[in-house]
Amino acid sequence: TSAEAVCVVTGAAGFVGSHLCERLLGLGCRVMGVDNFFSGRWENLTPFRDHPRFSFLERSVTEPGLLREIAAEHGPLACVFHLAAIVSVPYSVDHPEETWAVNYQSTIGLLQEAGRLGCARFVFAGSAAEYGDDARLPLRESYAGDQTSWLSPYGEAKYRSSRAVAACGDGPRGVALRCFNIFGPRQDPSSPYSGVISRFAEMAVRGEALTIFGDGHQSRDFVYVSDVVDAYCRAAGLVASAPEVPAGIYNVGSGTRTTILELARMILSLTERGESIRFYAERPGDIRHSVACIDAIQAVMAWRPRVSLEEGLRETLRWM
């Protein structure tokens, strides 16, 4: 059916969304991209903007009737990939109501509409932020939601959305992918809250000192964007060799921890720079360590990360 039915990708002009669109087109799907350019960028669409199977709608996911409109014009929906969101955690703290509308209510609205339209699959962009600051490592899917207070409106909205997606009832089969620290080409380095890898890569290429917030011994689970896109495709049943995926919530990470200091040194060595690091005060609200348990996604989707940190860093640096 992938030849006729349409895959909808919200957040299509974003970092991950644009890579997902490209992969889906490569698999032979028809793709309808949706983005309102709140944080998405036109230039992310340029590699496939004119592809004959790609269409695009400049629209916010908070507007009702979006999927109905798409189905009326383009026919039945194969899958909705819901990636559009307010992606900045600090912005979510300053704008909790807007975050709730965009990152939670839109999910409920799209799920209901997808169900009414007979769409069989719904894949949602969850986040490691759903765990808050949980010291039980590696983080297992069942740990989220234990805490009564959330670190951010972003984390809470993502958690509630993931739960709603996975509990789809008679609606589309819902899979939420709890992604850890995604990196790769097209990740915007321009804000202080941009992903640390995009920031370090840009600083290294410009010959600037890398800025470490805190002592650099905090750690993260970095996963390369093409591996994340592979997880999305498996979750949607688009990888022929992969097993049928039941509704649920699955971590997407490398399963390994890297400290920020190790990361800085890798990037400096790949760009043949000396030890050029500057230490600043720890970022308020920063979590200390984070790493995913990836047993569930390995067992259920036969997914595993294929791109090593070093390989992914090379690709990211090449793109800068």
Instruction: Please tell me whether residue 30 binds ligand UD2 under the rule CB under 6 A.
Output: no
Q: What end-to-end distance do the CA atoms of the chain give, in Å?
A: 37
Instruction: Please tell me whether residue 266 binds ligand UD2 under the rule CB under 6 A.
Output: no
CB 119 within 8 A of CB 80: yes
Q: In the stretch 168-207, what mask flags binding to ligand UD2 with x, by CB under 6 A?
A: -------------x-----------x-xx--x--------
> Minimal CA–CA distance to 32: which of 63, 66, 65, 6?
6
Q: What is the dihedral of CA 300, 303, 304, 309, to 10 degrees?
A: -130
By beta-carbon proximity to ligand UD2, the closer residue of 33 and 195 is 195
Give 175's strand partners: 123, 248
**Interface pick for ligand UD2 out of 2, 112, 147, 211 (rule CB under 6 A):** 211
By beta-carbon proximity to ligand UD2, the closer residue of 79 and 103 is 103
Size of the site for ligand UD2 (CB under 6 A): 18
By beta-carbon proximity to ligand UD2, the closer residue of 128 and 231 is 128
Instruction: Please tell me whether residue 218 binds ligand UD2 under the rule CB under 6 A.
Output: yes
Tokens encoding 226: 């093409």
Neighbours of 277 (CB within 10 A): 18
**Interface pick for ligand UD2 out of 212, 245, 297, 313 (rule CB under 6 A):** 212
Minimal distance in Å, beta carbon 259 to ligand UD2? 9
By beta-carbon proximity to ligand UD2, the closer residue of 115 and 214 is 214
Instruction: Please tell me whether residue 213 binds ligand UD2 under the rule CB under 6 A.
Output: yes
Minimal distance in Å, beta carbon 211 to ligand UD2? 4
Instruction: Please tell me whether residue 286 binds ligand UD2 under the rule CB under 6 A.
Output: yes
Scanning residues 89 to 108, which ones bind ligand UD2 (CB under 6 A)? Answer: 89
Q: What are phi and psi of 190, to 5 degrees?
A: -80, -15
Chain residues binding ligand UD2 by CB under 6 A are 89, 127-129, 181, 193, 195-196, 199, 211-213, 218, 220, 260, 283, 286-287
